[in-house]
Amino acid sequence: MSVTTSPVLEYTADMLRDLAQADVARALMEDVGDGDLTAALVPASKTARARILAREAAIICGVPWAEAALRQAAPGSQWNWRVAEGQRCQPDQTVLELTGPARGLLTAERTVLNFLQLLSAVATRTADYVAAIAEVSGTRGNVRARIVDTRKTLPGLRLAQKYAVHCGGGWNHRIGLYDAVLIKENHIAAAGGVTEVLAQVRATASIAGAAKFVEIEVETLTQLEEALLAGATMVLLDNMDLPTLREAVRINAGRAILEVSGGVNMGTVREIAATGVDRISIGALTKDVKAIDFSMRFTDL
């Protein structure tokens, strides 16, 4: 049995370009509407040089979105990335140099910065968690725990944020309700129990054909044992303390992929990884991020 599920998305250049183009089109419609009234104060013929600065250390993420915003709002612009996607920048470092129509650059500015500040924040936080457990040995040979995201994303920007997790070295969980099964406490209660709900999954052909994986959430060791007896191959251990997690790993004995959720932060993640679980899912990667501070400054008019 594989220790982790396969990545649920392949982030090709074409996929990222199309995703960014659609996200940016919505963002510009929201921001620009029928036209940028303030940019109209600048002569249409004026060109400008500009640079985007990072005001703090970060993992740069969002290049396809920034470029899509420039193509759509400032056609004819040229740019040069001084810090590439996935690389770390330092405070006050220039990450992007721009040349183009002044009006267009002003119109594109906020959309470019919004995507960079959000996606770089997600990538940076993810990288911090990945680094925190990098030296923690796992219980399956050389394989260590993976940092995994959740569905706790900004509406309409899920794929962008999940890409940012990937960019920061994390792994993606399911994309939505349609591509994998995660049986939670309310599903178990409605179906009549752990054994019953797992049996129902096996009996439902439409689920078996569509789901990339089936995972069940348990809250007690008794539920874990029942799930394993019922054939579970992937189990989410919900809000268990460290001694209970260690016992869960012992009971499991390598039979199922074990994922931890709840109570995970930078102060606890290393000890959680040391229990020997396979995956640590963290909603805060995408829902509680503090935007990275970027600014754009014209350098030559």
Annotated binding site: 110, 150-152, 174, 184, 217, 238, 261-263, 282-284
Residues 6+ apart with CB under 8 A from 113: 52, 294, 295, 296
Q: For this structure, is 140 an active site residue?
A: no
- Which residue has 């510009």 as its token pair? 28
User: Catalytic residue at 290?
Assistant: no
| Active-site entry in 49, 110, 255, 270 | 110
* Residue of 225, 238, 247, 293 marked catalytic: 238
Q: 10: part of which helix (H) or strand (E)? A: none
CA distance 107 to 111: 8
Which structure tokens are listed for 143?
Answer: 């394989």
Radius of gyration of the chain (CA): 23
The catalytically annotated residue of 149, 215, 217, 278 is 217
Give the residue numbers of the binding site for substrate: 110, 150-152, 174, 184, 217, 238, 261-263, 282-284
DSSP E strand stretches across the chain = 47-54, 58-59, 78-81, 88-89, 93-101, 146-148, 181-183, 214-218, 234-238, 257-261, 279-281, 294-300
Contact 67, 79 (CB under 8 A): yes
Cα–Cα distance for residue pair 197/218, rounded to 1 Å? 12
Is 162 in the active site?
Answer: no
Candidate list 17, 152, 158, 246, residue with the active-site label: 152
**Residue 109 known to be catalytic:** no
Residue 215 annotated as catalytic: no
Catalytic residue among 184, 246, 255, 287: 184
Tell me the one-letter amino acid at 215.
E
Active-site annotation, residues: 110, 152, 184, 217, 238
